């Protein structure tokens, strides 16, 4: 796991994915440990650990095999050593130790966390400091969330995948027309600046996803804002009407960038950079939609899909690049296991 200092509430199903020496997790007394780096140092050898990866080893640690004594117990020092590798705790286990498959059940109180039939925004606001745990622990493919009671407001939160294309392509064409009419064009410089704008977008996409979309919120208003911009996509990743970034928030984010570059760099330099930037944004939006809902039969898209699914269902604190893994590699947030 990339060391970002975060811990998660996880299900047994999630831990079971981490079952080989590229990503080796175990459960001990309801806590989850990433023992990937410890395997080679295990006094009993790495081999004996392998068949237990992704599983609950609480009994084995106590020297119990199939409910009876007979194995090899572990010392207090072994437990202390293990604590270094703690990544999170198990959720969804009731008082009898049975796994609760519906992730919308609070593992402590046994009550429903969300009433899916009612508008969800006030409910996420009221979750307070439990919001971040809830949003990353219980992705569900079965629900589309109802944000508002009012149907008009509700429809404004939806955006079919083709809307960004219909909105941005005429703007790109109009700006290019203006550029070629008013500027002396050096084709090589134009391409270099557009390429630079594209790399700038990739850094922007990575930073936005890592630091804004995944910021920790606890207050009523901030939980609602976070849910509107990214939280809803983590709780309902397969909601096809909310999988692209709609034009209005894109304008709110992009407008100041356009104004600043236009003013400081002038049309000749700024427009090719902005072209590379906006094309990067459209590629990002379409790639994101396609890796959720398309077939992805070429190897690049297959890899991006695998990384993004890992981000959604296993470790939301890594794999932030959607259209390209470049900055995940640079900042060392690319998952080891794919």
Residue 214 is assigned to a ligand binding site:
yes
- 72 annotated ligand-binding residue: no
The answer to whether 226 is annotated as binding is no
Say how many C-beta atoms besides its own lie within 10 A of residue 171's C-beta. 12
Which residue, among 268, 311, 277, has the nearest Cα to 291 in the 3D structure?
A: 311
86 labelled ligand-binding: no
Q: What is the Cα 255 distance to its own chain's centre?
A: 26
Instruction: Determine the Cα–Cα distance for residues 334 and 338; give it in Å rounded to an integer.
Output: 9
The response to whether 52 counts as a known ligand-binding position is no
SS3 46: helix
Name the helix (H) or strand (E) containing 97.
Answer: none
Cβ neighbours of 4 (radius 10 Å): 13
The response to whether 288 counts as a known ligand-binding position is yes
74 labelled as ligand-binding? yes
What are the tokens at 36? 């990937």
Rg (C-alpha) for the chain, rounded Å, is 24
- Residues in Cβ contact with 195 at an 8 Å cutoff, skipping those fewer than 6 apart: 276
| β-strand partners of 31 | 28, 89
Q: Is the distance from CB of 14 to CB of 314 less than 8 angstroms? A: yes
3-class state of residue 253 by DSSP: helix
Task: Tell me: is residue 234 an annotated ligand-binding position.
Answer: yes
Residue ranges for the known binding site for Zn(2+) are 209, 214, 230, 233-234, 288, 292, 308, 311-312
Q: What residues form the annotated binding site?
A: 42, 74, 209, 214, 230, 233-234, 288, 292, 308, 311-312
Which residue positions form the known binding site for heme?
42, 74
């Amino acid at each position: 796991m990339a060391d970002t200092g975060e811990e998660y509430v996880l299900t047994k199903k999630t831990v079971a994915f981490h079952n080989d020496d590229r990503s080796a997790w175990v459960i001990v007394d309801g806590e989850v440990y990433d023992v990937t780096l410890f395997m080679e140092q295990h006094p009993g050898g790495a081999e004996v650990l392998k068949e237990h990866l992704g599983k609950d080893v609480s009994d084995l640690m106590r020297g119990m095999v199939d409910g009876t004594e007979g194995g090899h117990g572990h010392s207090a020092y072994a437990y202390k050593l293990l604590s270094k590798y703690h990544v999170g705790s198990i959720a969804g286990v009731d008082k009898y130790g049975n796994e609760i498959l519906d992730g919308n059940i609070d593992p402590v109180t046994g009550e429903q966390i969300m009433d899916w039939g009612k508008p969800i925004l006030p409910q996420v606001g009221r979750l307070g400091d439990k919001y971040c745990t809830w949003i990353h622990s219980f992705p569900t493919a079965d629900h589309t969330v109802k944000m508002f009671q009012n149907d008009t407001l509700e429809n404004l939160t939806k955006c079919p995948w083709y809307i960004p294309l219909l909105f941005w392509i005429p703007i790109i064409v109009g700006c290019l027309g203006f550029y070629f009419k008013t500027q002396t064009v050096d084709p090589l410089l134009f391409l270099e600046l557009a390429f630079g704008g594209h790399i700038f977008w990739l850094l922007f996409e990575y930073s936005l996803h890592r630091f804004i979309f995944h910021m920790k919120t606890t207050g009523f208003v901030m939980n609602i804002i976070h849910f509107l911009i990214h939280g809803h996509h983590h709780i309902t990743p397969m909601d096809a009407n909310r999988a692209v970034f709609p034009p209005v928030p894109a304008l709110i984010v992009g407008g100041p960038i356009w104004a600043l570059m236009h003013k400081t760099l002038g049309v000749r330099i700024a427009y090719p950079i902005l072209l590379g930037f906006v094309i990067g944004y459209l590629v990002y939006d379409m790639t994101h939609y396609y890796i959720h809902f398309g077939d992805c039969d070429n190897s690049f898209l297959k890899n991006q899909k695998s990384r993004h699914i890992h981000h959604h269902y296993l470790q939301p604190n890594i794999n932030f690049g959607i259209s390209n893994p470049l900055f995940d590699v640079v900042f060392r947030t690319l998952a080891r296991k794919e």
